[in-house]
Amino acid sequence: MSESSPITPDPNQPEAIVNAGDRSAKTRQLLGMKGAAPGETSIWKIRLQLMKPITWIPLIWGVVCGAASSGNYTWSLENVLKAAACMLLSGPLLTGYTQTLNDFYDREIDAINEPYRPIPSGAISVPQVATQIIALFLAGIALSFVLDLWAGHDFPNVTVLALFGSFIAFIYSAPPLKLKQNGWLGNYALGASYIALPWWAGHALFGQLNWKIVVITLIYSLAGLGIAIVNDFKSVEGDRQLGLQSLPVMFGIDKAAWICVVMIDLFQGLIAAYLVSIHENLYAAILALLIIPQITFQDMYFLRDPLKNDVKYQASAQPFLVLGMLVAGLALGHAGI
């Protein structure tokens, strides 16, 4: 998720207002959001900041959507524990691995865009970051293997998905491929990682992952590509200086904003149309209705000033997008896809 501009308390303001600003900056720092304040000394809080907890939420939600689309999830204690373990895998462990890896390879661009981040600010050493990357990766693969054993899989589906997702995370951030250098490839890899991969993991844990679910979620991930573009607006200056071809750099701010919203709305609409084609009309109608407030917030905030309103837009519109994902998952489970 994108974040707003840094908060710098004014010494002339009342103390209560300054303290509130300090608390906000510290919270942003802990969550790994833009607008944080440097100066944290707790190594564990610094490590958590590297893992960007704010980014775990879509992955955790994706597991819920996958469990719903499997059509086999029931509310038993065992299934709740399985789902929670899969959320731990997709969120804190492998998303934490991905975000730490990204900070490791983005330390030069962060020195321009977000100099308060743990690595460019000197709050944590590069060897400590490398150790964290390895530990999170190994813990994630170990947990994925445990989930396969727990689910009784003959083939280690979840482990393979974890390895595949970790590989995508690596080539997204690391040279020589560094997919994020290309606005289209990088943003699609990011969108698919946030929508398709956790969805597949949740579906595979409770059902049989099949090509239809894979294709549908990859199409849905094109809406996620649009969401990923929103994140690029906060780092336009650094991307330009380092030659990264993000879409705002390639097409300019206004055109990139339009590409972003068209991708978000169009591919949600296509999923709704697919639900009509499999006679899940009620779910299709709910999904279509959930697109309307997103369009409203795009017009109110994002298209008017994507640099200033990216956070406000995401906070307003994304709840409707992720709720629509669950609606689609329930529809697919109900249809037995």
DSSP 138-157: HHHHHHHHHHHHHHT-SS-H
- pLDDT value at 4 more than 50: no
| pLDDT tens-place string over residues 283-323 | 999 999 999 999 999 999 999 999 999 989 999 999 999 99
DSSP 312-323: HHHHHHHHHHHH
The pLDDT score that the predictor gives to residue 18 is: 44
The two structure tokens encoding residue 115:
């100099």
Confidence band for 1, pLDDT divided at 50, 70 and 90: very low
Per the model's pLDDT, the better-predicted residue between 220 and 113 turns out to be: 220
Look up the pTM and report it: 0.88
For residue 6, the SS3 value is: coil
∠ CA 254-258-260 to the nearest 5 degrees? 115
The pLDDT score that the predictor gives to residue 6 is: 40
Average pLDDT in the chain: 90
Confidence band for 42, pLDDT divided at 50, 70 and 90: confident
Confidence band for 23, pLDDT divided at 50, 70 and 90: low
Do 40 and 18 form a contact (C-beta atoms < 8 A)? Answer: no
- pLDDT value at 16 more than 70: no
Confidence band for 32, pLDDT divided at 50, 70 and 90: low
**DSSP code, position 155:** S
Confidence band for 126, pLDDT divided at 50, 70 and 90: very high
